[in-house]
A and B are shown apart, each in its own frame.
Chain A
């Protein structure tokens, strides 16, 4: 049976949440494609997670058990995938629409004559082809698109677009992928990998709740308040460009046009005006809560629940109440 491949996104030896969401997405379209769902794990660690991948619907996992996967920039992963695609002729490849993964897909598309669609929020099969729904222009327009006939579809799926779900499958069969990177693939080595993720807090793309702060926080210490709130909610912490530009919070947490795009179940913005460039990165959140002292702030136009008030009053009270609920 042809395979519908899911490229596992993993970190610290464990699959990210998006991987399980990708498997759910794959299971939704595999039958109509006449394909079975298989995973590809590039780098060490697949064996320990074969049960999880299987329980989420992967019948097998192609495993390239090599530190080279992350030891050099992009190309070893591209070569491993190109070898697998040549041998396996999959129906399509699903991948996470995150930065470094998109690079892999971009290069793979050139190499194996594929076509790439990124940030899909929905998938369907029409006339035997995968049709991807996608929100463009910061969510103002919804498009459907497909990869032209004769080209391998490489479909990037947005975070939180599909709910991870167990399928009741047994452990995935681990099949070794035997490739060695070329000299060209090892030209750009990673000499240092710095992980700065904070205190077990989920990444903003993965989190189902994101608390986010802007200029209204006043200074960097405002983010300590937000982090306390986020931790009570099990959420991630994001920021507006005004806040990242001021150096109050790292750039990788910037939400918006020139930052990241997130679609959590709940976005809670404090001291953020809701400029069009900010909304472009969070407009597709399922629920939006805004706390802002200016009743005219544009963020209220898209808020499901808005509080006109001083965040330095409201947020501490919110924290108090959430702590009280916990008991």
Chain B
């Protein structure tokens, strides 16, 4: 059993994010981290490995040279090895271009289960996992808040607005997880030290099986950004201090009534 966990390198969520004014893509000069949503996928993979030690867990990163530390971070949680795909030709890819690279890299590595986060905290499209599944002709069991491996397949609860669907699927399959699935542990000191000696491969696109390189990168993007403008600042609002006797509630009701909310 081999699990491949595609993880993304993203601007730190605690900071403001910006678009690079020239390329209109995410400005990556700001501090970047392993996408926090991916920690839930990593935790799930580690738990599967704990229950079935013969499982091999491989983290997969598609990103520039600067994404290197992401591999060590992911490995420190207990994953076995890392593959980073770094190639200038990938720059400017949209969701479908990124999905093509991930799909080709995952096929080259070989896998039974592809374990994604349900979204990246920068692009936030949630498109990549389903696109990868489609490119590989596999079921896409997305938004899983429970995942269980059963004989030759999996059972999962897929979260949606009104509850969840329980589904079953054969393997290989593509799964994406939501935060509710588990509580990620912190990497241990031992894990951080062990990560240093784990294999970390860096591939360029020529290492990937079955990738049409004409279909990745800025030139192949199908969602094309034309303009980007900062949101105009919001005018300061009214702030009142409650006197403990309910005066503020009356003021709020009046404010809401003026705007026809009540």
Q: Is the CB of B168 within 8 A of A102?
A: no
Q: Is the CB of A137 within 8 A of B141?
A: no
* Residues in chain B near residue A277, CB distance under 8 A: 13-14
Q: Is the CB of B13 within 8 A of A192?
A: no
Residue of B134, B158, B161, B228 touching A143 (CB-CB under 8 A): B228
Bound: A277/B14 CA distance, A: 7
Q: Is the CB of B223 within 8 A of A116?
A: yes
Residue of A99, A261, A276, A313 touching B143 (CB-CB under 8 A): A99
B190 beta carbon closer than 8 Å to chain A: no
> Which residues of A approach B to under 8 Å, CB–CB?
11, 73-75, 78, 98-100, 102-103, 105-107, 109-111, 114-118, 131, 135-148, 151, 184, 187-197, 203, 205, 209, 233, 241, 244, 250-252, 254, 257-259, 261, 265-266, 276-277, 280, 287-289, 295, 300, 302-310, 313-314, 317-318, 320-322, 325
Q: Is the CB of A145 within 8 A of B224?
A: yes
Please tell me which stretch of B41-49, B71-79, B80-88, B120-128 contacts chain A, meaning at least 4 of its Cβ atoms lie within 8 angstroms of it. Answer: B120-128
B229 beta carbon closer than 8 Å to chain A: yes
By CB atoms of chain B within 10 A, which of A136, A140, A300 has the most? A136
Q: Is the CB of A141 within 8 A of B162?
A: no
Q: Is the CB of B237 within 8 A of A190?
A: no
The 5 closest A-B pairs by CB, nearest first: A309-B242, A115-B222, A251-B180, A106-B130, A317-B246
Q: Is the CB of A188 within 8 A of B167?
A: yes
Q: Is the CB of A114 within 8 A of B261?
A: no
Q: Considering only CB atoms, which chain B residue lies closest to A260 in the complex?
A: B161
B152 beta carbon closer than 8 Å to chain A: no
> Which residues of B approach A to under 8 Å, CB–CB?
13-19, 24, 36-37, 94-96, 99, 118-119, 121-122, 124-131, 133-135, 137, 139-143, 145, 155, 157-170, 173, 178-180, 221-231, 234, 237-242, 244, 246, 248-253, 255-256, 259, 261-262
Given contacts A103-B140, A106-B130, A276-B14, contact A73 B158 (CB under 8 A): yes
Q: Is the CB of A194 within 8 A of B164?
A: yes
Bound: A304/B24 CA distance, A: 31
Bound: A231/B262 CA distance, A: 12
* Residues in chain B near residue A193, CB distance under 8 A: 163, 165-166
Bound: A53/B237 CA distance, A: 40
Q: Considering only CB atoms, which chain B residue lies closest to A256 in the complex?
A: B13
Q: Is the CB of B159 within 8 A of A251?
A: yes
Bound: A148/B124 CA distance, A: 20
Q: Considering only CB atoms, which chain B residue lies closest to A209 in the complex?
A: B261
CB distance from B123 to the nearest CB of A (A): 8
* Residues in chain A near residue B239, CB distance under 8 A: 295, 300, 303, 305-308
Bound: A327/B124 CA distance, A: 45
Residue of A102, A251, A304, A309 touching B130 (CB-CB under 8 A): A102
19 contacts between A and B (CB under 8 A): A73-B139, A100-B160, A116-B95, A116-B96, A140-B17, A142-B229, A142-B230, A148-B222, A194-B166, A233-B262, A244-B180, A252-B159, A252-B180, A265-B261, A289-B255, A306-B239, A310-B244, A317-B250, A321-B246
